[in-house]
Structure 1
């Protein structure tokens, strides 16, 4: 898809027209709104628990949410193993793609999202390893003191005082009436949650646009499909759906903001590169000189909502079905 633009993007006249202004309207204001939503809702995590509303508390990430499977019968080691295998597969695919196509590969939004998914599973593997270690450690400690604490009618916390990351414990009754201790997650767990939701929307967008818009267009031009192309536009979605089925991560709506900002940063990156160097456009609809560029930009901008909503619906359906099929085993926070 190495397509040159109709006009030279390095010339000033290329940028001084109504199409550029209209396209910028579909990119910059959504990024500003997204930044405001992040500030508003992520900022609420810094408030004291008593000052938060129930809605604001609903998206707080708990200490074990990043590595604990959604069903009690599934051992955390299984989720850890799945993430490690997924990370290796994605890393191998990314390595082969780079070997065949070089660093020019990162001109494509697909490779941005594919790399982010790889990072997601890499970080998820590390968090799962760390979580499994503490799971075994806590289980051993709990077995020694459970009988005595139950006789005294006390709640059994996961730890006392402050955990290894310096996060203060919030001792209260656990999910579904069971006792336990919940605590807000540290930096890496919070980043993992953000990566999950950002990549979920981005993967849905890239795979949908490729198979429904770009692939038919290329097929008309006798484009030869190869194995790596299929992998980079399908493997990430399959593995992410598998992780979604197993994990306990929440999916608050406002984190569509990170997805919007990711796409906005990519578009601005393309504008800066093309304003500096006369180079091919990775996607033909990014070229601001084509007559229907504003329409294409608007369509892609609007697609962010249904793409994010599709994955949100997947998570909601999972919660609904698993809570009905496995009411005693399902352990996701509401």
Structure 2
């Protein structure tokens, strides 16, 4: 192996392994534990076939009353195209080796989320314009229309879309905090150099995701921080693997294993996941609290599963 392992590196390995085990245990406990819960606020994607409402409607509806789902489609498409262009620019400038950075991993994940959001919004626009689905026909007609099997598939799709959204949120906060507060003040490393592209990438990821958060009606449960932790652990483990195979340069100094204080860095990076995810959760809470107070007639923080409305009737999320 090209990677030299010191005794203190086993502490780093233990920290990452503990984070993976704890996240898996927490997620399995919460996701499987929801089987007996009838509330579909967070679990309708996983158990859509058992829920009383068509919970997947939150994928394409906005938290703002009378806002056509086409507006969410427009913002998601704009975000997707803009971020894809920035990533293409990055790859053209530095080649595919740029994906050694966590920033590019997170950037790609956000792009994948917006791509999934576009598909969901297109479907939502079709549902919105379908004159056969009205409030008078009720939910039974909706179930008969789309079919149980299709609803289950849509539920799985929505579950992954929501999970990616929550993973992106924590990862983007951590990426930008580390970049602006740790890396930029210490740009003595020859591999780093602040330029327009780097500034755009480390502002666009947060900006487009915040715009999406202001418009969408997706929940943000705390327990799915586990997916965020697993995402970061996957990146770290792959870094270990490529260095064991001969890659000698570390993209981030705090990941280096040949330093006696490496366990302290790894422990700090493990702990920082909590405030990063919590910061975005606080943004979602602030959105629901402040907008409900400032715009009581236009904003709603919960959603109505009976979202299929009459033609020419403004959409409402109650």
TM-score range, shorter chain: 0.7 to 0.9
Tell me the equivalent position of 2:37.
52
Aligned mates of 1:280, 1:104 — CA distance in 2 = 12
Cα deviation, 1:209-262, whole Å, max 9, x if unaligned, reads 010001100068796421111122111100000000000000000110000000
Tell me the equivalent position of 1:10.
2
The answer as to whether partners of 2:106 and 2:168 remain within 8 angstroms in 1 is yes
Q: CA deviation at 1:166?
A: 2.5
Tell me the equivalent position of 1:174.
none
Tell me the equivalent position of 2:199.
230
Tell me the equivalent position of 1:41.
30
Quick one: structure 1 residues 60 and 332, their matched pair in 2 at CA, closer, same or farther if it must change by over 3 Å? farther
Tell me the equivalent position of 2:141.
159
Aligned mates of 1:314, 1:199 — CA distance in 2 = 14
Q: CA deviation at 1:328?
A: 3.6
The answer as to whether partners of 2:63 and 2:302 remain within 8 angstroms in 1 is no
Tell me the equivalent position of 1:83.
76
Tell me the equivalent position of 2:246.
277
Tell me the equivalent position of 1:330.
299
Aligned mates of 1:303, 1:105 — CA distance in 2 = 24
Q: After TM superposition, which residue ranges in structure 1, 4 or more long, deviate above 4 angstroms?
A: 219-223
Q: Tell me, which stretches of 5 or more residues in structure 2 are unaligned?
A: 45-54, 304-318
Q: CA deviation at 1:39?
A: 1.3
| Secondary structure, aligned partner of 2:141 | coil
Tell me the equivalent position of 1:315.
284
Q: Which deviates further from its counterpart, 246-255 or 289-298?
A: 289-298
Q: Which of 54, 63, 66 matches 1:70?
A: 63
Written as runs of structure 1 = structure 2, the 5 A alignment for 1:1-334 is 10-11=2-3, 14-15=4-5, 17-44=6-33, 47=35, 51-52=36-37, 57-61=40-44, 62-137=55-130, 140-142=131-133, 149=136, 156-157=138-139, 159-164=141-146, 166=148, 186-218=155-187, 224-333=193-302
Tell me the equivalent position of 1:3.
none
Aligned mates of 1:299, 1:258 — CA distance in 2 = 18
Tell me the equivalent position of 2:306.
none
Q: CA deviation at 1:167?
A: 5.4
Q: CA deviation at 1:98?
A: 0.6
Q: CA deviation at 1:36?
A: 1.3
Q: CA deviation at 1:329?
A: 3.4
The answer as to whether partners of 1:165 and 1:186 remain within 8 angstroms in 2 is no
Aligned mates of 1:25, 1:222 — CA distance in 2 = 29
The answer as to whether partners of 1:167 and 1:186 remain within 8 angstroms in 2 is no
TM-score, normalisation: structure 2: 0.85
Cα deviation, 1:106-141, whole Å, max 9, x if unaligned, reads 11111000000011111101110111111111xx23
| Secondary structure, aligned partner of 1:159 | helix
Aligned mates of 1:103, 1:299 — CA distance in 2 = 29
